[in-house]
């Protein structure tokens, strides 16, 4: 049991050499590849995080662009509807104005036609009244009236009628 607790310099030297060789082998074949793998993993995670951030920013930008275009499309739609309503109102006003003008034109044409017809009928009536007056006067006087005298009397009678009417 004494040997167990005694210090042997040779054994200690071999233990230190073996330990250092083990550390060297582990460093070369274990520690460096492990550190390189961890560094590679860290770089990959960092690149993935940056790519995810870039994708998120791209998606946010695309969403903002989409929202802006959608708002613009809605605005254009409202503008088109407003413009169509204005055009429809203008067309309706134009049609109403044309209808009023056409109605006025028809009314004026009818009034003109009525006035012409009235003048024609008054002329016919005057002619008939004059004829009847001449016939009545002729019968009363029982004599034949000369056509030249008849025309003169008739013209003066019509002129007198026009003066009374005016």
pLDDT of residue 144: 57
pLDDT number for residue 18: 96
Quick check: 160 pLDDT over 60? yes
* Predicted confidence (pLDDT) per residue in 31-47, tens digit: 888 888 899 999 999 99
Whole-angstrom distance, CA of residue 72 vs CA of residue 66: 10
How would you classify residue 62: left for phi > 0, otherwise alpha for psi between -120 and 50, otherwise beta?
A: alpha
Helix (H) or strand (E) holding 3: helix 2-5
pLDDT of residue 108: 94
How many degrees, rounded to 5, is the angle at CA 100 between CA 97 and CA 104? 140
Q: Which residue has the higher pLDDT, 95 or 9?
A: 95
Cβ atoms of residues 154 and 134 within 8 Å: yes
Between CA 69 and CA 105 the distance in angstroms is: 52
Write the CB contacts of 166 (distance below 8 Å, at least 6 apart in sequence): none
pLDDT tier at 12, thresholds 50, 70, 90: confident
**pLDDT tens digit sequence for 90-141:** 999 999 999 999 999 999 999 999 999 999 988 888 888 777 777 777 766 6
Which has the higher per-residue pLDDT, 5 or 44? Answer: 44
* Per-residue H/E/C for 102-153: HHHHHHHHHHHHHHHHHHHHHHHHHHHHHHHHHHHHHHHHCCCCCHHHHHHH
- Which tokens is 12 given? 């200690």
Average pLDDT of the chain to the nearest whole number: 86
Mean pLDDT of 12-22: 94
pLDDT tens digit sequence for 51-97: 999 999 999 999 999 999 999 999 999 999 999 999 999 999 999 99
* pLDDT at 158 exceeding the cut of 60: yes
- How far apart CA 76 and CA 91 sit, in angstroms, is 22
Q: Where are the alpha helices (DSSP H) in 6-31?
A: 9-26
130, 154 contact by CB (below 8 A):
yes
């Amino acid at each position: 049991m004494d040997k167990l607790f005694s210090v042997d310099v040779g054994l200690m030297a071999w233990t230190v050499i073996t330990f250092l060789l083990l550390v060297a082998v582990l460093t070369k074949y274990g520690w460096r590849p492990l550190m390189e793998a961890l560094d590679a993993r860290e770089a990959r995670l960092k690149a993935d995080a940056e790519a995810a951030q870039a994708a998120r920013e791209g998606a946010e930008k695309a969403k903002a662009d989409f929202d802006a275009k959608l708002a613009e499309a809605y605005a254009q739609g409202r503008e088109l509807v407003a413009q169509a309503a204005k055009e429809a109102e203008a067309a309706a006003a134009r049609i109403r104005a044309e209808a009023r003008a056409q109605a006025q034109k028809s009314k004026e044409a009818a009034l003109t036609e009525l006035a012409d017809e009235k003048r024609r009928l008054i002329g016919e009536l005057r002619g008939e009244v004059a004829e009847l007056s001449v016939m009545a006067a002729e019968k009363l006087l029982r004599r034949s009236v000369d056509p030249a005298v008849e025309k003169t009397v008739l013209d003066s009678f019509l002129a007198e009628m026009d003066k009374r009417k005016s």
